[in-house]
Amino acid sequence: MAYLSESIITNVGSDYIEQYLNKNGLKRSEEVKGQDLVYWANDLLQNQRINIEKFEDFLFEELFWGKRKSIHIYKLDSPNKNKYKGDWLPVLQEKYNVDSMKFNAILETHINREEPRKIAAIHSEENYKGELVRVQILFVSYIQVNGENGYLDSSSYIPVEVDFERKIMLIKAWNRQKVAHDENKVNQMMDHYRKLMASQFNISIRNYMSEHKKVLFSMSKKLIYEAYSHIPNYNRIASLNQCIQNFVDEIVHKIDLENVIVDSRGKEIIPDDVMEFDEEIKNVIEGLVISDHFYNKKFDEIWTMGLEAVVAKVKFNDNEQVLTSLSGENTSVPIFCTKTFINLKKRMEESERIETLWITMDRKHGNLNLKFDATNPEYLEILIKYGIRFNQEDMDSALEIYKKYESKIITEAKVNNQVAIG
């Protein structure tokens, strides 16, 4: 029997469910205006006023994305395995009493302490060869949350997607507050389902090692310099090299510095170990033209520059193994406008690896704020920041920008290998 539980409402959001019902011509009468959503919606279901198939399609979209903004992305070790329905159906039938790769029974799938895990829905896509292109499984697990007078029963929806085209597996979860037990918290749940996909469905993964850190470095560097390239005066700095050198020479000549050496040309210079003085002057000039360009500009004006994304924060280990975090001084300033970043830019470039990268992308409604985290060698973590209504389009945007820079790293590695071979 189709039933909208309190747990489904909590996992989706009562406002979104009410909006859906209103858009479909179902509005509260005066008699039920103060009634809890769970009672009103189930009265509508019982009286067959809700199209269950369309309602469950809506619930699937919300439960597969929606609040589930913590994502672990794993690389498939054997992307050509498990590509046919026959590889999945025996396990689905044996373990979950599911005999189809396309079904949605969210309103009929309820769990409890005795039956703590079920599959609420599966979507799959095939190509013309009959090979699976994508498998989306919506698991639901029994959990407990902390209430005023003890533990309360609830459920957690864990979407798992195996994308054979992208050669990845995605596991998402809602970073929910007041979860009672550690094993039901977001990272533990995602790790549990990663192991379950391996043990039950034979989905094997391989480590990123440091590849995802290199990708994040490439992404951050190119996005920052893309922004710089749109600043007319920034592109003129290279023409100032002789001017800068003349200034350095004059300073060395006029100030009686203790640590000055004579180079092979007989010219007095400041050793790099003391200070790379010419580079520091270039940094000051860069800071000047960048600050001048963005002075009094609002953050939203940045998108008129045609930028793909804006870097908001980076975290990296430099050559001294010091974990350094750089971010905008306030939410209206991107990282490339800050004095701290300009001063430490060279150290970041020397590291060639980024641990964590925060970027902002333009979006139809508001901005898409993404955190890419490469600290774990087993997976890439993506966190969808701030209060947007997360959907598949947002997920695709995050995957596409990462894939773009990942492909560049792979291509560069192949070229370097060919050169090394001869």
Q: What is the pLDDT of residues 192-239, one digit of tens each?
A: 999 999 999 999 999 999 999 999 999 999 998 888 888 889 889 989
Domain count, the chain: 4
User: Is 28 part of a structural domain of the chain?
Assistant: yes
Instruction: Write out the two tokens for 78.
Output: 């054997």
Mean per-residue pLDDT of the chain: 90
User: Is 59 part of a structural domain of the chain?
Assistant: no
Beta-carbon contacts of 407 under 8 Å, excluding residues fewer than 6 positions away, are none
Instruction: Write out the two tokens for 27.
Output: 């509005």
**pLDDT per residue over 367-408, tens digit each?**
899 999 999 999 999 999 877 899 999 999 999 999 999 998
* CA-wise closest residue to 223 among 335, 65, 315, 324: 335
Range of the domain at 249: 231-299
User: Is 151 part of a structural domain of the chain?
Assistant: yes
CA distances from 184 to 11, 29, 115, 147, 150 (A): 15, 39, 15, 15, 16
User: Is 363 part of a structural domain of the chain?
Assistant: yes
Residues 212 and 344 in one domain: yes
Residues 220 and 310 in one domain: yes
**What percent of the chain stands above pLDDT 90?**
68
Residues 96 and 199 in one domain: yes
Q: What is the pLDDT of residue 255?
A: 92
User: Is 24 part of a structural domain of the chain?
Assistant: yes
pLDDT reading at 422 higher than 90? no
**What percent of the chain stands above pLDDT 70?**
91
* CA-wise closest residue to 64 among 393, 382, 391: 391
Domain boundary among 248, 282, 299: 299
Residues 224 and 351 in one domain: yes
Residues 212 and 98 in one domain: no
User: Is 65 part of a structural domain of the chain?
Assistant: no
Residues 169 and 235 in one domain: no
Residues 91 and 134 in one domain: yes
Q: Provide the whole-model pTM.
A: 0.90
Residues 421 and 361 in one domain: yes
pLDDT reading at 330 higher than 50? no
User: Is 64 part of a structural domain of the chain?
Assistant: no
User: Would you tell me how many other CB atoms lie within 10 Å of the CB of residue 56?
Assistant: 21
Residues 362 and 221 in one domain: yes
Residues 143 and 43 in one domain: no
Q: Is residue 87 classed exposed, middle or buried when 0-12, 13-18 and 19+ CB atoms within 10 A define those classes?
A: middle
User: Is 174 part of a structural domain of the chain?
Assistant: yes
Residues 86 and 145 in one domain: yes
Identify the residue with better confidence: 403 or 301.
Answer: 403
Domain boundary among 279, 299, 319: 299
Residues 269 and 152 in one domain: no
